[in-house]
Amino acid sequence: MNTFTPSNFQRVYTAAIGVESLSKTSQNTEGGSNRSHDPPTPSNQLVPANEAGDRRKTTLPGKPRPESAILTEVTRKAMATEFAILLPPQSLDAVELAVTTLEKLDQIEQSLTIYNDGSEVSKINRLASQRPVSASKSTFELIERALQWSQRTQGAFDITAGPLVKAWGFTERSGRKPSADEVEAALARVGYRHLQLNRAHRTVQFDVPEMSINLGGIGKGDALDQIADELRRGGLSDFLLHGGSSSVLAAGDQIANSSLGWAIGIAHPTKPKRRLAGVRLRNQALATSGSGKQFFHHRGKRYGHVIDPRTGFPAGDLASLTVITDSAADADACGTGLFVAGTQEMTTLSSEPWFPHAVLIRNGKRQDEVAISCLGEIEWADPPAVQITG
């Protein structure tokens, strides 16, 4: 579903996909364990892709605006989506650093993917029902982090939910209504409490046969965090990252030494070309969850792709939920879990110290009508026309 992109800037494009800065938003169309841009248009200058598959492009601004400048974008396809680094003018000399840093995505994907039998997660899924399986430090810590969010969201975020996603047909992005027996059989293989971690030996084990984990709901955000750390180690402080347009990490400033951060647009849940508002991020991450793009109808009822691992059925009483946290991995997991939990549970959890700043979008009474509310303090770059605070 569409959520954000950098707003109030010029567009920058690669040949494959467009990213609109500060004039639009982005989408959450990825599957993941619980979860597009507009088509490209011509621009002033295109740098061809290198052999590794990265694409670089610089767009010159048209009429000057306060947040209008040359932006350079470096992209790379990984994890079934496209990752991008956007560099403002003060970071223009870091293009090569951006290109080499994005190459790290291949290594991350090879560890976390469930679509390669040789990956670390595939090995865990294959053997952990039989015995403890050793994991690398990074993978083990990511699983630990995922379990922390399962506990915080009372099971609404769960990396073991794959059998349910498959039962509902969303693994193949088709969608089908399973029988009650199929849901019950899938639920028997789901549950983060059946996932046993041994920190001393750094091993993973399943308590239930045929269990599996899928880190898609937190892995993209973790990849963004790792890329950001690598860029900072290389001396870069001002940049914007996004992965698949549903996860964004903003570092430093779009305008040099302004302390304004980056302006990110929030899009209409089902009308991605319609931007509803813009927020400012500085050294923060943002993620949006929703089912505006992946759903199907069965006997007149709409079923979205975000499954509640506690009930086995699609969940969420919001059109979309955008959360802001300090890390992209936390934003991904937290946003998914809270979207599944729904507004009533969110209200209960909102007093917790970890609870994020959040923008809630509800469907209105008329078609395409929405109402926007927020929890916590949001720094608006472009406030919504109608805002309900709560």
Measured CA distances, 139 to 39, 145, 204, 219, 242 (Å): 35, 10, 10, 10, 21
User: Got the DSSP string for 143-185?
Assistant: HHHHHHHHHHTTTSS-TT-HHHHHHTTTTTT------HHHHHH
Parallel, antiparallel or unpaired: strands 387-389 and 370-375: parallel
User: Which pLDDT does position 70 carry in this prediction?
Assistant: 81
- For domain 4-106+218-389, say whether CATH 3.10.520.10 is its number: yes
Q: In the chain, what are the domain boundaries? A: 4-106+218-389, 111-216
Residue 125 structure tokens? 């899924």
Which tops the pLDDT comparison, 164 or 17?
Answer: 164
User: Which pLDDT does position 12 carry in this prediction?
Assistant: 34
User: Which pLDDT does position 271 carry in this prediction?
Assistant: 85
Q: Examine the pLDDT at 14 and tell me if it is beyond 70.
A: no
Share of the chain above pLDDT 90, in %: 64
User: Which pLDDT does position 10 carry in this prediction?
Assistant: 31
Q: For residue 30, name the pLDDT band (cuts at 50, 70, 90).
A: very low
Distance CA 359, CA 243 (A): 20
Mean pLDDT of 285-291: 90
Q: Examine the pLDDT at 332 and tell me if it is beyond 80.
A: yes
Share of the chain above pLDDT 70, in %: 77
pTM of model > 0.75: yes
Homologous superfamily (CATH) for 111-216: ApbE-like superfamily (1.10.3980.10)
Common-topology check for domains 4-106+218-389 and 111-216: no
User: Which pLDDT does position 32 carry in this prediction?
Assistant: 44
User: Which pLDDT does position 288 carry in this prediction?
Assistant: 94
